[in-house]
């Protein structure tokens, strides 16, 4: 697989930890020049140094994908210093676990997840699309969630933002096919990162290592499939189409069995 990533310029957002960091390390090991984006500069620098110490090529850029000026400045710097971007991995994300009835006065929960998971990803795609079209080559990997396929209770804010990105990706892939630009949606299951802390202790399902997740991202870059799904995620999606009412009843029982966290209930102060 390395020959297909050798000397490719790969941008990865949310690369200071978790799936983003592991994906950057894995892509660099396959010969890619990884261009890492994150808000936290000190942690970003540590990842860059780790990759370089292992013999890889990496460059870090402090960037907030929710800030248009930050994205424009970063993309301009990347294109100026590296000439082009071959692949973009939209990994930066925000998750919120809270029941709908506790969210009626918290519309900002939905705005925050959309700002990062949807509009942040779109901002990166739109910024890089012109140069990709000019070169007639580009590949975008969007990290989505298997929860979109399952419709997991208490994740309406998070999953709605990922579902929006899924549909955008489907439309964009059809429009840009003749431009040589392709898209892959990776429906990630729960991965052991700080972001899944709200799910800890609520039996939301099996968890996977960041190394496993990174392997899925590398596969998405190398093989460029339409989607990367787990068996469970694909089965849940099919289940919802065939027996939607039965699925609702079963998911309702799941919802009742695993309550909100203390923070979601307001028992612990949250921002």
Active site positions, annotated: 158
Strands annotated E in 165-217: 181-188, 190-191, 207-208
Rounded to an integer, what distance in angstroms lies between the CA atom of residue 168 and that of residue 166? 6
Question: 115-154 in b/e burial notation, b at 16+ Cβ within 10 A?
Answer: bbbbbbbbbbbebbbeebeeeeebbbbbbbbbbbbbbbbb
Contact present, 191 and 207 (Cβ < 8 Å): yes
Q: Give the pair of three-digit tokens for residue 72.
A: 């424009």
HSE-up of residue 208 (Cα within 13 Å, Cβ side): 17
């Amino acid at each position: 697989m390395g020959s297909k990533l050798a000397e490719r310029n790969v941008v990865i957002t949310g690369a200071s930890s978790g799936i983003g960091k592991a994906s950057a390390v894995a892509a660099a090991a396959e010969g890619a020049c990884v261009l890492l984006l994150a808000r936290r500069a000190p942690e970003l620098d540590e990842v860059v140094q780790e990759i370089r110490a292992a013999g890889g090529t990496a460059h870090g850029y402090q960037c907030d994908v929710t800030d248009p000026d930050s994205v424009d400045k970063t993309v301009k710097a990347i294109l100026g210093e590296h000439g082009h971007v071959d692949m973009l991995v939209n990994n930066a994300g925000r998750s919120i676990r809270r029941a709908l009835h506790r969210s009626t006065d918290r519309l900002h929960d939905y705005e925050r997840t959309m700002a990062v998971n949807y509009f942040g990803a779109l901002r990166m795609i739109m910024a890089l699309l012109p140069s990709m079209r000019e070169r007639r080559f580009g590949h975008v990997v969007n990290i989505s969630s298997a929860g979109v396929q399952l419709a997991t209770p208490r994740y309406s804010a998070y999953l709605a933002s990922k579902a929006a990105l899924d549909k955008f990706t489907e439309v964009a892939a059809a429009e840009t096919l003749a431009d040589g630009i392709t898209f892959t949606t990776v429906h990630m299951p729960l991965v052991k990162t700080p972001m899944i802390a709200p799910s800890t202790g609520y039996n939301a399902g099996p968890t996977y290592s960041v190394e496993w997740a990174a392997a899925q991202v590398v596969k998405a870059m190398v093989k460029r499939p339409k989607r990367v799904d787990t068996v469970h995620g694909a089965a849940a999606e099919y289940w919802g189409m065939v027996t939607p009412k039965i699925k609702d009843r079963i998911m309702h029982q799941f919802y009742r069995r695993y309550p909100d966290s203390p923070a979601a209930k307001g028992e612990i102060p949250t921002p």
